[in-house]
């Protein structure tokens, strides 16, 4: 029978949480829990809490980073829903951009832009469209399994025409505000993907690599004696495009004669080490400032661009960006391949604004015919050939390899180059002040990300390149005349139709590139620019595009913008967070979000990046199926990663959550159900609790746990309003520890009825309410486990308080009547003393089952001592100690010593800290007593107070039988000397423990009655029984009897037999099911029925109800058609011990 009164279900001892979670998920599906909760909150007219979810790509499987961010988002949105808000949660997919295109390029063997054009853009885009949702079903499965409530059916996709149309609208708004322009800039460039990247994309994937380095000579024209400038580079492939050299105007440069070759070189004095190991290897002829080298002409390394730039180029320029950190102090200038090169050459008139800068590298990173010697070679592969050519011409002075950090393409994992390309930009630099002001309006957890990382990024932000020379993306909606004098930006499908006469349903490149717009200036037909938007522009537009603003949902959007909450990883500081801020500021001069949680990175256990190739992390779904999704959720959100720090993922950590959190919590819940059912079955008392209200009780622990629950709720509400998961979860877990390891443990006997039915009922109601409080407050964090418990606990509530799901309930509010900080402090003091007592026992190897004689608490704080006295009974029981005394009198038993708080004093005292620290360690007991009394002390001229000193107390007496433990202002002395009576009592408790272990092994419930028999000839064991049978009987609820007294008819009822070794004593224990026992005196009333038949008849009775009947004095037994009345205590007995 699994159901008790009120439909209360029995709770099995063994539980597999992943299987229970699957049942909960099926139940949620059955009641459509998420949508029902949204429907209810909408119908109730709750205020909106707006959440934006950054769209992931569906071309890959979810990993721990996604699971972490998703868990944080789910916890926060569940919390605000339970706090009276309507919280829409809409899923989105990032479907455009490099991840998709790169996959298709690999699949179809596409190597260049021409390959795409040959197959047609329409076919290429069709291939892209076919894979964008490849893993959508896997994502849905994992998201559901993690219990994340988010709408994945009514999702948005960046490829949706409505989404793309809003992106066009965003572009037009910015274009009309003169925030978008076409420019020619040196950009990070992926040759594998044939497209420029933004600066924040380029910063996502740096690697330590080995590259060639070389020093080349550039003879100065007209120098006497002949001398050559020396330039150093780690990109030999840029040397064919060299147009100038750059020196620092104030740095000192030397003309040196090479002793070995007699050649004269010019390089920076601080960088002579680049070429020479010893001073004897060169002779300084003269030194000059960089400014004096300005304008010198030199012989080009190659002649590819002499005809174009010979009159203005191949000369020495000056700029302060040159450093003495590396190289020769002379930087070679290839303006098409370096941002500073471009800037300096433009400033100095080597190149001109608007001209096509010499850039002999095509879209795929291969040399063009302009550099005929290396035509067709990929730039990175051409390094060797270029160095060989320079060596042959006598211009290579030195070559080697250098290991340095270099940017790689985040998608193709190939080295980036820097390349001048025409791009479309957002004028971020003109928005800088507004961006910084809007950042100040936002709240970040952790705050250092906002105040340092994000602030610094905004402060140094450069114009954002939003175009990509690709195909699968939202086309940039700009049409232009051939001479670029007429440029228009289209902001909607309707506008395009009005201008062109063509109506389209799809806005992709292959659907609109053929559309032309008649010129209003008589310039023929306007054609669309080739580029598509960077997918970051699309994701930054998602607040507007997900609801097709402003074409639909205009009023609703404007009421709920900015978002109340977003969350992503630290890597999004320069990604999604940035693009949201830029576009929100550009459109509305508002940040797009109010509150943001930034999580750190989840690394493999070895501290390396998680890698599918290395297989250095466990499969998330296997972890979930082994330990449960709630355990994984709890592990992640109770880690440094929610403070923006790194987490080294360990599967053992998830397993530990099950052991340390869920099993104790589950066992406390199981115990509650057991004692409720026992009270119902044995006492006929039906328990009904409430999820609210204060339960009046004279019991200290009842008052304390209710106060702790109220304090917890006050704390959680305050911290969750501040989005500080990293403080909330540890506090919830601490309360769980208080509930399971303190309240339940210390009230176990009382809860089981040891102090009477009334006390049991009160304590059960307190435990029920506190468990319900915990279940409701933990529901946002461990939603399935809390649902599992609530589904049964709700049967103990009035019908009016029951809901179909714990997630339909409001978040619990602190009961102000229960708030009692003084009581919390009082119990905390008791807890610390008990914990110290356990440590003392461990140090002496004394089991908690063996009593110790006494504990003495010495402390000058009389309030603390009174608290201990008030809770003395709990201390005696928990520490199994016979007596406790408290005193403020130290006598000569206590000696103090002190250590400085290095952090506080080191910062405050500076150089004086060393002297003060040394003196602190020599302070006498009298001086430290004076410090405690006055609250301050002068040490070497510095006044110390408060927490400046850490004072430790030590015991001066006999430590052979006393274990001293010092903490705060307390010295606790534990008498650990054992005599035979203490050892015997400990052994008796150990015997009880063995019986209880056997019960557990047999799967018995607390209400299951048993008989226990022993077999042993050990005199020590028999002596323990003689002296401590009452203790044993009280614990196991039956007398321990010799095996010889076990009736034969009990043999079929034997449950378990075990050979035990208790402190060296050999014992055989047998457990049988309990039954009624018929005595020989029953023959007097048997009406001819045999004793054996009567015994068989009473054994078939339901024991609990039969025992109740016995309370009236007799029971009726039907045997062979005869009714036999047996008198309790004369003819029939409830145990063997009572019968004999």
Sheet-wide strand order for 244-247? 316-318, 244-247, 330-333
**Cα separation, 318 vs 321, whole angstroms:** 9
At 132 the pLDDT is: 87
Average pLDDT score over residue span 977-992? 90
pLDDT band at 6 (very low <50, low <70, confident <90, very high): low
pLDDT, tens only, 790-823: 999 999 998 888 999 999 999 999 988 888 999 9
Tell me: pLDDT of 200 over 90: no
DSSP letters spanning 743-806: IIHHTHHHHTTTT-HHHHHHHHHHHHHHHHHHHHHHTTTSHHHHHHHHHHHGGGS-GGG--S-G
**576-588 and 161-176 are packed helices; what angle lies between their axes, rounded to 10 degrees?**
60
Exposure class string for 46-74: b at 16+ Cβ within 10 A, else e = beebbbbbbbbbbbeebbbbbbbbbbbbb
pLDDT band at 442 (very low <50, low <70, confident <90, very high): very high
Tell me: pLDDT of 4 over 60: no
**757-778 and 783-793 are packed helices; what angle lies between their axes, rounded to 10 degrees?**
150
Residue 6 three-state SS: helix
What is the helix (H) or strand (E) element at residue 1105, kind and residue range? helix 1103-1110
**Cα separation, 1115 vs 1105, whole angstroms:** 10
Tell me: pLDDT of 5 over 60: no
Task: For residue 585, give the nearest of 75, 162, 177, 1137 by alpha carbon.
Answer: 177
User: Please, are residues 1005 and 674 in contact by the beta-carbon 8 Å criterion?
Assistant: yes
Point out the least confidently predicted range of 259-268, 367-376, 945-954. 945-954
At 3 the pLDDT is: 39
At 553 the pLDDT is: 93
Task: Compute how many other C-beta atoms are within 10 angstroms of the C-beta atom of residue 115.
Answer: 15
The H-assigned helical ranges of 420-573 are 432-440, 447-448, 455-459, 493-500, 509-512, 535-540, 542-545, 554-560
User: Please, are residues 54 and 576 in contact by the beta-carbon 8 Å criterion?
Assistant: yes
Could you tell me the end-to-end alpha-carbon distance of the chain, in angstroms, rounded to an integer?
34
Mean pLDDT in the chain? Answer: 91
At 603 the pLDDT is: 87
**Cα separation, 542 vs 157, whole angstroms:** 10
For the chain, the C-alpha Rg in angstroms (whole number) is: 41
Query: Residue 216's beta-bridge partner residues?
Result: 231, 396
Quick one: how far is CA 768 from the chain centroid? 31
SS3 content of the chain, % helix, strand, coil (to 5): 45, 20, 35
The tokens for 437 are: 């002001």
Higher pLDDT, 7 or 473: 473
Q: Above pLDDT 90, what percent of the chain?
A: 64
Average pLDDT score over residue span 676-683? 83
pLDDT, tens only, 492-515: 999 999 999 999 999 999 999 999
Average pLDDT score over residue span 849-868? 93
Point out the least confidently predicted range of 93-97, 300-304, 1005-1009. 1005-1009
Task: For residue 268, give the nearest of 220, 325, 324 by alpha carbon.
Answer: 324
DSSP label at 248? Answer: -
Tell me: pLDDT of 2 over 50: no
**Cα separation, 395 vs 389, whole angstroms:** 9
pLDDT, tens only, 363-422: 889 999 999 999 999 999 999 999 999 999 999 999 998 888 888 887 788 899 999 888
Average pLDDT score over residue span 199-222? 87
Sheet-wide strand order for 881-887? 881-887, 852-858, 970-975, 962-967
Task: For residue 780, give the nearest of 42, 31, 72 by alpha carbon.
Answer: 72
The tokens for 68 are: 């972490």
Tell me: pLDDT of 45 over 50: yes
**Cα separation, 1134 vs 1058, whole angstroms:** 24
Q: Mind telling me the catalytic residues?
A: 55, 94, 536, 572, 576, 609, 612
Q: 607: phi > 0 → left, psi -120 to 50 → alpha, else beta; which? A: left
Largest CA distance in the chain: 142
**Cα separation, 1088 vs 1098, whole angstroms:** 16
Task: For residue 210, give the nearest of 347, 403, 14, 56 by alpha carbon.
Answer: 403
Q: Which residues contact 952 (CB under 8 A, 6 or more apart)?
A: 896, 897, 898, 899, 966
At 691 the pLDDT is: 67
115-124, 270-279, 580-589, 856-865 — which one is most confidently predicted on average? 580-589
pLDDT, tens only, 563-622: 999 999 988 888 899 999 999 999 999 999 999 999 998 988 888 888 767 778 888 999
Residue 579 three-state SS: helix
Task: Compute how many other C-beta atoms are within 10 angstroms of the C-beta atom of residue 278.
Answer: 7
**Cα separation, 279 vs 282, whole angstroms:** 6
**Cα separation, 741 vs 435, whole angstroms:** 51
Task: For residue 674, give the nearest of 1005, 998, 1035 by alpha carbon.
Answer: 1005
The tokens for 657 are: 């959550």
Higher pLDDT, 330 or 183: 330
At 248 the pLDDT is: 96
**Cα separation, 839 vs 836, whole angstroms:** 5
Q: Above pLDDT 70, what percent of the chain?
A: 99
DSSP label at 314? Answer: S
Report strand pairing: 464-465 vs 602-603: unpaired
**Cα separation, 118 vs 823, whole angstroms:** 80
Exposure class string for 1113-1135: b at 16+ Cβ within 10 A, else e = ebbebebeeeebebbbeebbbbb
**Cα separation, 954 vs 896, whole angstroms:** 6
Could you give the angle at the alpha carbon of 529 between the alpha carbons of 528 and 532, nearest 5°? Answer: 110
* Torsion on CA atoms 956, 961, 965, 971, rounded to nearest 10: -50
At 420 the pLDDT is: 87
694 burial class (0-12, 13-18, 19+ CB within 10 angstroms)? middle
At 497 the pLDDT is: 96
Higher pLDDT, 48 or 195: 48
Q: Which residues contact 108 (CB under 8 A, 6 or more apart)?
A: 115, 119, 127
Task: For residue 51, give the nearest of 74, 71, 30 by alpha carbon.
Answer: 74
**Cα separation, 182 vs 489, whole angstroms:** 13
**Cα separation, 403 vs 846, whole angstroms:** 60
**Cα separation, 95 vs 720, whole angstroms:** 34
The tokens for 323 are: 């450093």
Task: For residue 137, give the nearest of 148, 153, 124 by alpha carbon.
Answer: 153
- Asked if the bond preceding 1099 is cis, omega within 30° of 0, the reply is no
Instruction: Outline where DSSP puts E strands in 1026-1064.
Output: 1040-1042, 1054-1062
Point out the least confidently predicted range of 447-461, 556-570, 715-729, 900-914. 900-914
């Amino acid at each position: 029978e699994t159901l008790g009164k009120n439909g209360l279900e029995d709770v099995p001892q063994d539980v597999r949480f992943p299987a229970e979670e699957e049942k909960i998920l099926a139940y949620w599906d059955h009641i459509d829990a998420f949508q029902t909760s949204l429907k209810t909150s909408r119908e109730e007219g709750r205020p909106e809490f707006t959440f934006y979810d950054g769209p992931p790509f569906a071309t890959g499987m979810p990993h721990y980073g996604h699971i972490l961010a998703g868990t944080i988002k789910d916890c926060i949105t569940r919390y605000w829903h339970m706090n009276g808000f309507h919280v829409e949660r809409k899923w989105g997919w990032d479907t455009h951009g490099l991840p998709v295109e790169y996959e298709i390029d690999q699949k179809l063997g596409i190597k260049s832009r021409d390959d795409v054009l040959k197959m047609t853009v329409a076919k290429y885009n069709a291939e892209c469209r076919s894979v964008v949702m490849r893993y959508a079903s896997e994502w849905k499965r994992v998201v559901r399994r993690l219990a994340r409530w988010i709408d994945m059916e009514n999702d948005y996709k960046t490829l949706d025409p409505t989404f793309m149309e809003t992106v066009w609208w965003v572009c037009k708004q910015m274009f009309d505000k003169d925030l978008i322009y076409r420019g020619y800039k040196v950009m990070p460039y992926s040759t594998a993907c044939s497209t420029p990247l933004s600066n924040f994309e380029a910063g996502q994937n740096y690697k330590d690599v080995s590259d060639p380095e070389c020093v080349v000579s550039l003879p100065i024209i007209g120098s006497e004696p002949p001398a050559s400038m020396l330039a150093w580079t780690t990109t030999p492939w840029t040397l064919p495009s060299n147009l100038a050299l750059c020196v620092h105007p104030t740095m000192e440069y030397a003309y040196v004669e090479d002793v070995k070759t007699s050649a004269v070189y010019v390089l920076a004095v601080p960088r002579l080490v680049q070429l020479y190991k010893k001073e004897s290897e060169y002779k300084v002829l003269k030194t000059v400032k960089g400014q004096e080298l300005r304008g010198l002409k030199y012989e080009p390394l190659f002649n590819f661009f002499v005809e174009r730039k010979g009159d203005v180029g191949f000369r020495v320029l000056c700029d302060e960006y040159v450093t003495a950190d590396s190289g020769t102090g002379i930087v070679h200038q290839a303006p098409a391949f370096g941002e500073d090169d471009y800037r300096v050459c433009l400033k100095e008139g080597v190149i001109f604004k608007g001209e096509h800068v010499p850039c002999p590298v095509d879209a795929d990173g291969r040399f063009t015919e302009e550099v005929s010697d290396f035509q067709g070679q990929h730039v990175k592969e051409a390094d060797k050939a270029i160095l060989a050519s320079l060596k042959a011409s006598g211009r290579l002075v030195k070559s080697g390899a250098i290991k340095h950090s270099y940017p790689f393409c985040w998608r193709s994992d190939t080295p980036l180059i820097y390349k001048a390309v025409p791009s479309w930009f957002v004028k971020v630099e003109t928005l800088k002040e507004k961006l910084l002001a809007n950042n100040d309006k936002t709240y970040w957890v952790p705050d250092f990300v906002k105040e340092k990382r994000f602030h610094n990024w905004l402060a140094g932000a450069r114009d954002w390149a939003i175009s990509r020379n690709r195909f699968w993306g939202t086309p940039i909606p700009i049409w232009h005349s051939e001479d670029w004098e007429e440029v228009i930006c289209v902001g909607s499908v309707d506008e395009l139709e009005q201008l062109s006469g063509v109506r389209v349903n799809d806005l992709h490149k292959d659907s609109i590139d053929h559309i032309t717009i008649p010129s209003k200036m008589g310039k023929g037909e306007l054609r669309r620019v080739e580029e598509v938007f960077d997918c970051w522009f699309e994701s930054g537009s998602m607040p507007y595009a997900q609801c097709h603003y402003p074409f639909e949902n205009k009023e609703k959007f404007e009421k709920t913008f900015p978002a109340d909450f977003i969350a992503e990883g630290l890597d999004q500081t320069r990604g999604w967070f940035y693009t949201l801020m830029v576009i929100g500021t550009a459109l509305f001069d508002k940040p797009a979000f109010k509150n943001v949680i930034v999580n750190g990175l989840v690394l493999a256990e070895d501290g390396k990046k998680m890698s599918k190739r290395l297989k250095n992390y466990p499969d998330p779904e296997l972890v979930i199926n082994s330990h449960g999704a709630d355990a994984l959720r709890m592990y992640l959100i109770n880690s440094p990663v929610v403070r923006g720090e790194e987490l080294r993922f360990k599967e053992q950590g998830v397993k530990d959550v099950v052991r340390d959190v869920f099993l104790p919590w589950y066992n406390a819940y199981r115990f509650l159900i057991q004692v409720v059912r026992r009270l119902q079955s044995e006492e006929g008392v039906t328990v009904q609790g409430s999820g609210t209200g204060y339960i009046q009780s004279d019991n200290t622990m009842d008052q304390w746990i209710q106060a702790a629950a109220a304090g917890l709720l006050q704390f959680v509400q305050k911290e969750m309003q501040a989005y500080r998961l990293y403080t909330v979860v540890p506090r919830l877990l601490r309360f769980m520890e208080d509930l399971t390891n303190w309240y339940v443990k210390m009230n176990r006997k009382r809860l089981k009825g040891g102090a009477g039915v009334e006390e049991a009922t009160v304590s059960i109601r307190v435990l029920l309410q506190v468990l319900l409080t915990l279940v409701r407050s933990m529901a946002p964090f461990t939603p399935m486990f809390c649902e599992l418990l609530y589904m049964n606990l709700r049967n103990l509530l009035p019908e009016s308080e029951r809901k179909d799901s714990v997630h339909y309930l409001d978040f619990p509010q602190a009961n102000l009547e229960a708030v009692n900080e003084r009581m919390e402090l009082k119990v905390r003091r008791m807890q610390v003393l008990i914990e110290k007592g356990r440590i003392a026992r461990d140090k002496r190897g004394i089991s908690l089952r063996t009593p110790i004689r006494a504990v003495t608490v010495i402390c000058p704080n009389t309030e603390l001592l009174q608290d201990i006295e008030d809770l003395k009974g709990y201390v005696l029981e928990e520490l199994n100690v016979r007596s406790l005394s408290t005193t403020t009198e130290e006598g000569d038993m206590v000696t103090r010593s002190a250590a400085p708080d290095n952090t506080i004093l080191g910062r405050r005292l500076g150089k004086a800290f060393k002297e003060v620290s040394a003196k602190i360690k020599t302070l006498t007991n009298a001086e430290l007593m004076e410090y405690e009394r006055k609250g301050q002390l002068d040490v070497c001229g510095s006044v110390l107070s408060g927490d400046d000193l850490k004072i430790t107390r030590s015991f001066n007496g006999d430590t052979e039988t006393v274990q001293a433990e010092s903490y705060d202002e307390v010295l606790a002395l534990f008498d650990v000397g054992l005599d035979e009576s203490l050892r015997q009592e400990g052994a008796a408790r150990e015997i009880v423990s063995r019986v209880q272990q056997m019960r557990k092994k047999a799967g018995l419930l607390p209400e299951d009655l048993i008989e226990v028999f022993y077999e042993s000839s050990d005199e020590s064991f028999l002596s323990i029984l003689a002296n401590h049978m009452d203790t044993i009987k009280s614990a196991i609820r039956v007398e321990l009897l010799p095996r010889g007294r076990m009736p034969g008819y009990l043999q079929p009822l034997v449950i378990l037999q075990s050979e035990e070794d208790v402190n060296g004593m050999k014992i055989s224990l047998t457990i049988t099911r309990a039954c009624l026992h018929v005595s020989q005196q029953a023959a007097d009333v048997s009406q001819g029925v045999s004793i054996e038949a009567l015994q068989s008849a009473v054994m078939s009775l339901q024991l609990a109800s039969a025992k109740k009947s016995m309370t009236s004095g007799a029971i009726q037994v039907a045997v062979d058609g005869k009714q036999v009345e047996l008198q309790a205590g004369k003819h029939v007995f409830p145990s063997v011990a009572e019968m004999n």
